[in-house]
Chain A
Amino acid sequence: MDVKLEMEVGLGQDEPRRAVERFERFANAHELPMGLVFKFQLALDELLTNVVSYAFDENEPNPVITVGLRLTDAQLEAVLQDNGRPFNPLLDAPEPDLGLPAEDRRVGGLGIHLTKAFVHGLRYERVDGWNRLNLVQPL
């Protein structure tokens, strides 16, 4: 098996959901296990939500966000690319302190924390003005 799906993601608040629901249909069509689909979906959602919310200035002339999915017998892979400001969520997001009481807890960084916990292979690179995030989940 070697199937691919490419999609563009807009800057609207509903766009991450639209993208992950498309991923979900793709994953279900290829009968991937539900637990894996949920975790990968959450990771995509968290990463795309970050990009949609923070990567671009309001007057950015040509914002582009793309998601490429590839499914083989061995693994599920996603490549997220955007031409926004350089940001490596794997290093630049704050690490949440999970030991703090509710009054002192902050939610910043929690999405990335969940992403790191739920997806095995995560890699970031900055290439020719693009942020590129690579997610790999062995099957």
Chain B
Amino acid sequence: MNVETSYSGSTAVAVVDGRVDSANAKDFDEELSAIIDRGVSSLVVDCGGLNYISSAGLRVLLIAIRKTNEAGGGLALCAVPDHIREVLEVSGFVRLTKVFATADEARASFSG
């Protein structure tokens, strides 16, 4: 798993690739927490390179959704591969966060 983040004011886009499971969920949590702790309230998680996520990774996303909601922004996902999208649907996460085709669309959703 690797996370690369670009910042623009209180908005950030985190591009996640690889695999998030119980073995590295803690690292993923630390990455997202560090981004939010820098004052980011609107976080886009770009899942274009994400090839695997288990419930341990969903837990990390849930924490980040809560934190960004509390900060008055939110968390949006983009470029979600079909098989990951199915995990989000089955686990009810599509009700907790919006899913966009591109990072630009996701970012624009926060500025409205």
Chain B positions within 8 Å of A111 at CB level: 54-56
Chain B window 56-75, contacts with chain A (Cβ cutoff 8 Å), 1 for yes, 0 for no: 10110010011001000000
Please tell me if the beta carbons of A107 and B65 are within 8 angstroms of each other in the complex. no
Question: What is the size, in residues, of chain B's interface with A at 8 Å between Cβ atoms?
Answer: 21
Interface centre among A101, A102, A105 (most CB of B within 10 A): A102
Please tell me if the beta carbons of A114 and B21 are within 8 angstroms of each other in the complex. no
Closest to B65 in A: A102
A127 to nearest B CB, angstroms?
A: 26
Q: Is A1 an interface residue (CB 8 A)?
A: no
Q: Which one of A12-20, A56-64, A79-87 is at the interface? A: A12-20
Chain B window 69-105, contacts with chain A (Cβ cutoff 8 Å), 1 for yes, 0 for no: 1000000000000010001001110011000000000
Chain A positions within 8 Å of B110 at CB level: none
Bound-state Cα–Cα, A15 to B95, Å: 32
Question: What is the size, in residues, of chain A's interface with B at 8 Å between Cβ atoms?
Answer: 29
Please tell me if the beta carbons of B54 and A49 are within 8 angstroms of each other in the complex. yes
Please tell me if the beta carbons of A38 and B52 are within 8 angstroms of each other in the complex. yes
Bound-state Cα–Cα, A14 to B90, Å: 25
A36 to nearest B CB, angstroms?
A: 10
Please tell me if the beta carbons of B62 and A114 are within 8 angstroms of each other in the complex. no
Chain A positions within 8 Å of B92 at CB level: 96, 98-99, 105
B34 to nearest A CB, angstroms?
A: 20
Provide a sorted-by-A list of 22 A–B residue pairs whose CB atoms are within 8 angstroms. Answer: A13-B23, A16-B22, A16-B23, A17-B19, A17-B21, A17-B23, A34-B83, A45-B22, A49-B21, A96-B91, A99-B95, A101-B96, A102-B62, A102-B66, A102-B69, A107-B59, A110-B58, A111-B55, A111-B56, A113-B90, A113-B91, A114-B55
The 6 closest A-B pairs by CB, nearest first: A98-B92, A111-B55, A107-B59, A110-B55, A49-B22, A17-B23
